[in-house]
Chain A
Amino acid sequence: MSQEIRSEISSICQVKLPVGETLNIKRNRLTPLGKAGDCKRRIGIVTGIHGDELEGQYVCYEVVRRIRERPECLVGTVDVYPAMNPMGIDSVTRGIPGFDLDMNRIFPGSRDGAMTEYVAHKIIEDLAGADLIVDIHASNIYLTEIPQIRINELHKDTLVPLARHMNVDFVWVHASSTVLESTLAYSLNSTGTPTLVVEAGVGMRITKGYCQQLADGLMNTMRALGIWQGEALSVREPIVADRADSVVFFNAPAAGIFVPEAGHWTMLEKGDKVGDIVNPLTGEILSEITTPEKGILFTIREYPVVDEGSLVGRLLKR
C-alpha cells in the first residue's frame, strides 16, 4: 500500500519589485508522511542560477514525477529548487536581469548588502546543512557538455565518492581558483554542506537523454544517502580526471563560422579533425582544428559564430 507524501511549495526568498510584482524563489519540499518521515536526511536539487540553462528544468520535473509515482520509496527530504534566478529564466537572460550580474559570482551574499546579495544570502541559509546539494548547470548557449561533475580539488576527498553515484560520464577535478570562491558550490562546500556541480547539455535547450541520465543518477544518489528506497539502478562508472594536464582546450585561431566534424563524446586519434572555421563571404577554410593527441571530445561548440579565442572544444586525454 503506497504511503502519502507531503509536497510543500514555499518561497525561500521574497523581494518586492517596483511595479506590482514580488520576486519569489520557490522550493518544493517533498517529505514522507508517517513513520518513513523519521529519516532526517536531506538532499537539495538546485538549478536555474543561470537563466539561459534549462536542462535542469526537465531533471527537476522528472525527479518530482518519479517520487510522486512511487511515494512509498521516499524516506527522507527532497528539496527541489527549479529556478534560483526566476527573472533570468523568464527573460532568457543568463545573469540577473536589471543588474547584469552573474548570480554565481555573488555567494555567500549578505543580509545587509544589495538586493542580489540578500537573495544569495537567503539561498545559502536555506540550503546549508543538507546532506547533499546538487547544482545543475547546462554549460551556456555556446557549448554542449557531456554529463559531468566538476569538483574543486580542495573538496575532492568528500565529493568524488558522492559523484560516483550520479550516473555521469565524467568527473573533472579542477584546480582551485580564487574567482570561483564566490560560487554557490564553493560557499556551501567550504562551510560543510557537500555540493556537486553538474554540467550537462547546452543552454536554451532540453536534451532529454541527458536529463533522464541525470534523473537516474539523482535517484541512485538519494538511494545511497538513505533518502530513497526504490530499486537499484545500473549507473555508469565515470572517468575521473584529476590532473591539471588531462584536458586539452581548443580555442579558435581565427574569427569565422565553426563547422563541427567530430562527434561529441567520441574517441579521437592524434591528428583527427574536430572541425573547420570557414569564411562564408570568401568560401575559404580559415582554420582546420585537429587534435594534438588521442582523447575523448567531451565539449563541443554548439553556437557557430566564433571570435579569435572562442572555445570550440575540450578533449580528455586518454
Chain B
Amino acid sequence: MKKKIIYELNALYREPMQVMGYVFGEGEKSVCVVGSMRGNEVQQMFSCSCLIRRLKKLEERQELAAGKSILVIPCINSYSMNIGKRFWSTDNTDINRMFPGYQEGETTQRIAAGVFDAVKDYSIGIQFASNYMSGRFLPHIRMMRTGFEDIEAAKNFAFPYVMVRDTRPFDTTTLNYNWQIWETKAYSVYTTDTEEIDRQSAADAVKGIEKMLNAAGILNSRVSGGYHYYSQVLCDGSLLSVRCREAGIYENKVYVGEEVHEGQLLAEITDPYEGTVLEQLTAPADATVFFQHKAPLIYADTTALKLV
C-alpha cells in the first residue's frame, strides 16, 4: 500500500487540508473507491477505513490481480468533518455538486477538479454515498440512468437491491454522474446510516465490494459472509411512499428490512405536549421496509417510510 496526497488546499490559520489516497497494487487503474465528501458522512469514511484494512491484508496475501491498481480515498472534506458541518466550512457549498470541477474556479470547484483528475481514469468507480433524506436505509447499490449504467455488473455486489433512477438536473454535477460520462462504471453504495457508525453494515458493504472486485477480476480472494443476494432491481416507481399528514413526535414501530403486512402499524406520531396519538402510519401492502425516518420529530407532509 502506498499513501499519496490527491489534493492539498492551503488555509490561512488551519493546517493544509490534504485529501489522502491509498493505492494498492500497480498497473492499470482498475477501481477507485471514494468515502465521505460531506462533513457528516462518518459511516462512509468508516466503511472506507474498513476497506483499506481489508485491502492491506489481501495485498500481503498477494490476492490482488497482477497489473491492476486500486485507489481508495476515505475522506475528501476533512475540514468540514473537523468542525461538524455538513458542507464546505467557509461557504457551505457541497463538493458533490461541483464535479467535474474547475481548476481556476471557486474553492470547492478546485477540490472537485483536483479529486476528479485523480479518479477519472479508473474503469470502476464506487462511492459510499448518503441521501439528503435523513434516516435509515436498507443497504443498496444506486445508479443513475445515463446510458452508461451497467446493471448486471451491479448485481455482483450481492446486495439485496440495486436501485436505478432517472437523472435529475442537479445530478449532473455529482461524482457518480461525471464518472459515468467519462466512461467509468459508477456505483453508489448505501449502507444503513450516515452520522452514526454501523459496524455490521460497513463490514457487509466491504464484503460486497470484495465480491464485486473478484467478479471483475481485480481480486482473487475468498469472501466469507456478507450479503449473498441475487439483487432485485428497483426503479423510481418500485417503492411505496408512506407519508404523514401530521407533525409531532415520531416513533417507528418496525425495523428497516422488516417484512410487514398490509395494515400493520409502521410508525406513530404523537402530540409533543399532550402525548395523544395524532396519526398512525400503516402499511398499504405486504412489503419490506426500505427506508424509515429516524429523527424524533417530524414535519407534516413528509415521506416517513418507503416500502419495497
- Spell out A's residues near B (CB within 8 Å): 15-20, 23, 94-95, 98-101, 105, 112-115, 118, 140, 142, 178-182, 249, 251, 254-257, 279, 281, 305, 307-311
Contacts and interface: CB of A to CB of B under 8 A. Distances in A.
Interface string B238-267: 000101001111100000000000000000
Contact of B12 (A15, A18, A251, A255): A255
Given A255-B11, A311-B106, A16 B170 contact: no
Q: Which 7 A-B pairs have the closest CB atoms?
A: A16-B300, A181-B169, A18-B297, A16-B247, A309-B107, A307-B107, A178-B172
B272 A308 contact: no
A52 B232 CA distance: 44
A98 B133 CA distance: 11
A94 B86 CA distance: 14
Contacts of A18: 247-250, 272, 297-299
Contacts of A23: 299
Given A16-B247, A18-B247, A94 B272 contact: no
9 contacts: A20-B272, A100-B86, A101-B132, A105-B170, A112-B241, A140-B91, A178-B173, A179-B173, A256-B12
Interface string B213-225: 0000000000000
A279 B12 contact: yes
Nearest to B79: A307
B10 A115 contact: no
B188 interface: no
The interface centre, meaning the residue of B104, B109, B247 with most chain A CB atoms within 10 A of its CB, is B247
B24 to A, nearest CB: 30
Given A16-B301, A18-B298, A100-B132, 17 more contacts: A15-B300, A17-B247, A17-B300, A19-B273, A19-B297, A20-B272, A20-B273, A112-B243, A114-B303, A140-B91, A179-B173, A182-B169, A249-B105, A257-B12, A307-B11, A307-B90, A308-B107
Interface of B: 9-13, 86-87, 90-92, 97, 104-110, 132-133, 168-170, 172-173, 241, 243, 246-250, 272-273, 297-303
Contact of B10 (A178, A182, A255): A255
A180 B247 CA distance: 32
Nearest to A307: B107
B86 A305 contact: no
B10 A254 contact: yes
Contacts of B250: 18
B105 A251 contact: yes
B109 A309 contact: yes
B26 to A, nearest CB: 32
A114 B297 contact: no
Contacts of A101: 132
Contacts of B246: 16
A23 B247 CA distance: 11
Given A182-B168, A308-B107, A309-B105, A16 B299 contact: yes
A257 B92 CA distance: 19
The interface centre, meaning the residue of A18, A142, A257 with most chain B CB atoms within 10 A of its CB, is A18
B12 A305 contact: yes
A251 B102 CA distance: 12
Contacts of A180: 169
A19 B92 CA distance: 28
B248 A142 contact: no
A298 B243 CA distance: 46
A56 B92 CA distance: 22
B299 A115 contact: yes
A124 to B, nearest CB: 15
A174 to B, nearest CB: 15
A180 B248 CA distance: 34
B212 to A, nearest CB: 30
Contacts of A255: 9-12
A140 B10 CA distance: 24
A74 to B, nearest CB: 35
A105 B173 CA distance: 12
Contacts of B172: 178-179
Nearest to A309: B107
Contact of B299 (A17, A105, A305, A309): A17
Nearest to A107: B169
B64 to A, nearest CB: 36
A179 B90 CA distance: 22
A256 B299 CA distance: 41
A305 B10 contact: no
B168 A308 contact: no
Contacts of B272: 18-20
A82 B289 CA distance: 41
